[in-house]
């Protein structure tokens, strides 16, 4: 089938396959934000350009629908799907409605779990806020524009809490729950959240 297309298309296809192959083999050493731009290379052309952006702080978080809505990219991979609905309706993080369309859906049942040590004796975030319990929190930060940070910040706000308030109670907030995985002392893993828990 590839022989039926013109040489420029063959070269473009080969380049895309090379990039995919390199990333598959060397993903640990390479950056993960993907941008693909197909243009005619000429000032005047009837061909349609295509720009794709995936991953990173711009194309992989809350900003991804904005990038599509502003036509800085044509296609982005957005997870969880609720972000697209919010952007389409102009709700929450998104201050205005965006003319977005879904091309496909990746089967992903995302949920958020907030877990604390049973030794704290709490049953809700309200208990933590009322008792002003100092916590060492482990979660995904990586910038304030990712869906995880936005969701957890929103949930905390319902209880008059925030990451900043938790830090002021005496313990820092950190990144992904490596402290749990590495077997850190109990007092260093009082609370963490993780997404995608089944």
- 89/106: higher pLDDT: 89
Task: Give residue-wise pLDDT tens across range 94-147.
Answer: 999 999 998 888 777 777 888 888 888 888 889 988 888 887 777 765 566 788
pLDDT at 90: 95
Q: 155 and 170 share a domain?
A: yes
Picking from 86, 89, 43, the residue whose alpha carbon sits closest to that of residue 62 is 86
Task: Give residue-wise pLDDT tens across range 17-70.
Answer: 998 888 888 888 888 888 888 887 776 667 788 899 888 778 878 899 999 999
* Mean pLDDT of the region 65-86: 90
Q: Is pLDDT of 166 > 90? A: no
Q: 54 and 92 share a domain?
A: yes
**Distance from C-alpha of 47 to C-alpha of 50, rounded to nearest angstrom:** 10
Residue 13 lies in a domain: no
Q: Which helix (H) or strand (E) is 115 found in, with range?
A: strand 112-116
The dihedral formed by the CA atoms of 75, 76, 82 and 84, expressed in degrees to the nearest 10 = -40
Residue 7 lies in a domain: no
- 186/121: higher pLDDT: 121
**Domain coverage including residue 131:** 112-195
Residue 20 lies in a domain: no
**Distance from C-alpha of 145 to C-alpha of 98, rounded to nearest angstrom:** 18
Picking from 135, 144, 117, 145, the residue whose alpha carbon sits closest to that of residue 173 is 135
Count of structural domains, the chain: 2
Average pLDDT over all residues of the chain:
79
> For residue 135, what are its two tokens?
């916590």
* DSSP conformation letters of 75-114: EE--SSTHHHHHHHHT-TT-SS---------------EEE
Residue 187 lies in a domain: yes
Q: 160 and 102 share a domain?
A: no
> For residue 69, what are its two tokens?
């809505």
> For residue 124, what are its two tokens?
């809700």
Inter-CA distances, 194 with 25, 113, 119, 179, 180, Å? 28, 6, 20, 13, 11
Residue 67 lies in a domain: yes
Q: Is pLDDT of 181 > 60? A: no
Last residue of a domain, one of 106, 124, 147: 106
């Amino acid at each position: 089938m590839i022989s039926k297309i013109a040489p420029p298309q063959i070269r473009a296809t080969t380049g895309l396959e090379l990039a995919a192959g390199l990333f598959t083999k060397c993903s640990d050493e390479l950056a993960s934000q993907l941008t693909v731009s197909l243009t005619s290379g000429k000032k005047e052309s009837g061909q349609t350009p295509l720009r794709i952006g995936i991953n990173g702080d711009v194309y992989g978080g809350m900003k991804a629908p904005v990038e599509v809505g502003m036509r800085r990219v044509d296609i982005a991979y957005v997870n969880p799907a609720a972000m697209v609905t919010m952007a389409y309706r102009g709700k929450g993080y998104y201050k205005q409605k965006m003319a977005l369309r879904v091309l496909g859906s990746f089967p992903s049942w995302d949920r958020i779990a907030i877990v604390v040590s049973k030794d704290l004796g709490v049953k809700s975030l309200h208990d933590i806020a009322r008792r002003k319990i100092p916590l060492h929190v482990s979660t995904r930060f990586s910038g304030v524009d990712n869906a995880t940070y936005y969701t957890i910040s929103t949930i905390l706000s319902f209880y008059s809490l925030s990451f900043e308030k938790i830090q002021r109670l005496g313990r820092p907030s950190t990144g992904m729950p490596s402290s749990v995985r590495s077997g850190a002392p109990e007092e260093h893993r009082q609370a963490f959240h993780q997404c995608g828990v089944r």
